[in-house]
């Protein structure tokens, strides 16, 4: 008997010795981020850097957006939509607690939504809440949201970082000390240096594999390369040095993952201003642009050509739109002649600071010179861009629209590029009335075709998401349908 116990004990010891390395598998991660967030409250700022830390990790909304841009349940475990598409009844998870220990219930939902849509709200995406007429607490686990008119993308909107759930007691302090319901809670922030989040052991859902995550702020591209190679950071979900990608691809210690973002990079044209109010002129310009040359020349070959204003990783993307105005210099010249501009056009091309605009702009200027369009390049700072082109004072400009699912901006004739397409607006109105996913995808495809056909802007390419991380890390997102570093599914393999 004694020897039996000893054998068991010995076997157990051996077993522990064997499994010990596995038990000790790394459960912390250090990720590099280029920009430091101004603060950590996603409901009070547009900076993507905020969501890159807190989205899905610290804060959760009623719904959340998954890695392909799909809508997933989050704090609301299910919902019903009324026949007329105006009433959404959300059933909340019970037993959910905020990081400060207070309970999450329907009152917090009402508070969060009402706060975001209030008169004095500084929510950067206040438009997401525009359709809401009333939020009603039915019982602690049920909330009824009534819309003034149907908004088919309402569930998607509620998945944005700007629509996360906060508590009345802690909302004011969220900028410095974010209190959410997520699987991680905020631990520390040394300004200019690093932000740390740790596992929330009281999390209501599936616990995360990581016990701690550190985001280190490394703005310099060469510093980013060195930090990865020296092992100071385990990865960069958005790696800032595209020129170093081949070196990391050749190094077996790293995974290089090139996906796409929600950043549709466009050559915007002022549809209200001559000669760009002429479809033939816009079509000529669209046909004169060689997207591949721009991606290779300005983006180190990273980026996906697009034919419309829609993210190519999304299931509803219409890939055929790329052939609406294929690269054809002769056709472009012919179109320009038909429009009555055989003697050429002179215009200004205003360029904000990012490389895609500055380098891309030079390539575009030389491509358009080939069909007789003479562009004067005007480089500006973001502040000037917001005061000029964004207020409608421009001929042409290059900018990346990084908000997810933002094709709706084409329905607003007051938006800076000034597109007033009745057919498009009708499709958008219909889309707002539609809640069925398949029907919505069909309408989205129609919308994409219309703006491609009308050559509203030249759709250049989707900004790439270039991730470089330790080959042993699993579960980081390949694409970024929302600007986030969702760590909920991240783990290390042995």
Partner 1 sequence: MAWFFAKRLVSFTVTLALATIVIFTMLEIVPGDPARLMLGINATQDAVDALRQQMGLDIPPLARYFAWVSGMLTGDFGRSYTYSVPVAELIGDRLWVSLPLAMISLALSTLVALPVGIAAASRRGSAADTGIMASTQLGVAIPNFWFAILLVYVFAVTLRWVPAGGFPGWDKGLMPGLTALILPSIALALPQAAILSRVTRSALVEALGEDYIRTARAKGLGRRAVLWRHALRNALIPVVTIMGLQFAFLLAGTIIIENVFYLPGLGRLVFQAITQNDLPVVQNVVMLLVATVIIINFLVDIAYALIDPRLRKREA
Select from 70-78, 121-129, 202-210, 339-347 the region that touches partner 1 (CB under 8 A): 121-129
Sign of CA dihedral 272, 273, 277, 282: negative
Select from 33-41, 64-72, 102-110, 138-146 the region that touches partner 1 (CB under 8 A): 33-41
**Shortest Cβ 381–partner 1 spacing (Å):** 7
Note whether 252 binds partner 1 by CB under 8 A. no
Q: Which residues contact 291 (CB under 8 A, 6 or more apart)?
A: 305, 327, 460, 461
Binding mask 188-217 for partner 1 (x = CB under 8 A): --xxxxx---------------------xx
Bridge pairing between strands 345-351 and 491-492? unpaired
Q: Are 54 and 42 in contact (CB under 8 A)?
A: yes
CA–CA dist 139, 81 (Å, integer): 18
**Shortest Cβ 46–partner 1 spacing (Å):** 3
Cα 206 to Cα 74, 184, 185, 305, distances in angstroms: 12, 12, 15, 38
CA–CA dist 133, 107 (Å, integer): 17
Q: Which is nearer to partner 1, 227 or 283 (CB)?
A: 227
Structure-block tokens of residue 104: 């999450």
Structure-block tokens of residue 393: 């004072």
**Of 83, 120, 243, 330, which lies in the binding site for partner 1, with binding defined by CB under 8 A?**
120
Binders of partner 1 among residues 144 to 163 (CB under 8 A) are: none
Note whether 164 binds partner 1 by CB under 8 A. no
Q: Which is nearer to partner 1, 195 or 288 (CB)?
A: 195
**Of 28, 125, 146, 425, which lies in the binding site for partner 1, with binding defined by CB under 8 A?**
125
Binders of partner 1 among residues 400 to 419 (CB under 8 A) are: 403, 406
Say how many Å lie between the first and final Cα of the chain, rounded: 38
Select from 86-94, 131-139, 229-237, 485-493 the region that touches partner 1 (CB under 8 A): 229-237
Note whether 386 binds partner 1 by CB under 8 A. yes
Q: Which residues contact 118 (CB under 8 A, 6 or more apart)?
A: none
Structure-block tokens of residue 410: 């084409």
Instruction: Spell 268-289 as b/e; 16+ CB within 10 A means b.
Output: bbbbebebbebebbbbbbbbbb
Note whether 355 binds partner 1 by CB under 8 A. no
Note whether 101 binds partner 1 by CB under 8 A. no
Binders of partner 1 among residues 47 to 86 (CB under 8 A) are: 47
**Shortest Cβ 130–partner 1 spacing (Å):** 8
**Shortest Cβ 280–partner 1 spacing (Å):** 29
**Shortest Cβ 277–partner 1 spacing (Å):** 23
Q: Write the Ramachandran bin of 85: left for phi over 0, alpha for psi from -120 to 50, otherwise beta.
A: left
Note whether 46 binds partner 1 by CB under 8 A. yes
Note whether 33 binds partner 1 by CB under 8 A. no
Bridge partners, 136 (sequence order): 144
Q: Which residues bind partner 1 (CB under 8 A)?
A: 36, 38-39, 45-47, 119-127, 175-176, 190-194, 216-220, 222-223, 226-227, 229-232, 381-384, 386-387, 390, 403, 406
């Amino acid at each position: 008997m004694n020897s039996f116990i000893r054998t068991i004990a010995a076997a157990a010891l051996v077993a522990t010795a064997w499994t010990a390395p596995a038990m000790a598998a790394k459960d912390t991660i250090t990720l590099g981020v280029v920009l430091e967030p101004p603060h950590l409250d996603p409901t009070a700022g547009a900076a993507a850097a905020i969501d890159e830390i807190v989205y899905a990790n610290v804060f959760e909304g009623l719904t959340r957006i998954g890695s392909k841009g799909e809508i997933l349940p989050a704090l609301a475990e299910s919902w019903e939509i009324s026949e007329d598409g105006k009433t959404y009844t959300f059933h909340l998870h019970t037993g959910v607690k905020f990081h400060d220990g207070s309970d999450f219930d329907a009152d917090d939902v009402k508070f969060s939504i009402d706060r975001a849509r209030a008169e004095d709200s500084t929510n950067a995406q206040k438009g997401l809440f525009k359709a809401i007429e009333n939020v009603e607490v039915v019982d602690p686990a049920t909330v009824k949201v009534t819309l003034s008119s149907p908004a088919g993308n309402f569930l998607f909107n509620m998945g944005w970082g700007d629509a996360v759930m906060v508590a009345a007691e802690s909302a004011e302090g969220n900028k410095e000390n974010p209190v959410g319901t997520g699987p991680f809670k905020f631990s520390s922030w040394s300004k200019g240096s690093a932000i740390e989040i740790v596992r929330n052991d009281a999390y209501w859902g599936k616990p995360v594999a990581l016990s701690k995550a550190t985001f280190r702020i490394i703005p310099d591209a060469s510093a980013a390369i060195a930090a990865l190679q020296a092992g100071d950071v385990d990865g960069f979900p958005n790696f800032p040095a595209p020129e170093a990608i081949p070196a990391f691809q050749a190094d077996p210690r790293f995974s290089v993952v090139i996906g796409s973002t929600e950043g549709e990079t466009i050559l915007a044209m002022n549809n209200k201003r001559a000669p760009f109010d002429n479809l033939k002129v816009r079509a000529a310009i669209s046909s004169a642009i060689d997207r591949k040359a721009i991606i290779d020349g300005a983006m180190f070959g990273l980026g996906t050509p697009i034919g419309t204003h829609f993210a190519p990783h999304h299931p509803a993307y219409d890939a055929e739109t790329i052939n609406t105005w294929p690269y054809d210099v002769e056709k472009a010249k012919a179109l320009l002649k038909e429009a009555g501009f055989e003697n050429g056009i002179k215009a200004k091309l205003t360029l904000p600071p990012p490389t895609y605009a500055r380098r891309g702009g030079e390539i575009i200027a030389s491509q358009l010179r080939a069909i007789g369009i003479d562009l004067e390049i005007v480089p500006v700072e973001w502040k000037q861009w917001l005061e000029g082109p964004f207020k409608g004072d421009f001929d042409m400009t290059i900018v990346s629209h990084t908000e997810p699912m933002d094709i709706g901006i084409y329905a607003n004739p007051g938006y800076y590029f000034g597109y007033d397409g009745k057919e498009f607006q009708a499709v958008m109105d219909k889309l707002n009335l539609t809640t069925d996913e398949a029907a919505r995808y069909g309408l989205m495809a129609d919308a994409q075709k219309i703006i491609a056909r009308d050559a509203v802007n030249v759709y250049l390419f989707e900004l790439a998401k270039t991730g470089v991380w330790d080959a042993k890390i699993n579960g980081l997102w390949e694409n970024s349908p929302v600007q986030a570093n969702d760590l909920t599914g991240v783990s290390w393999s042995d």
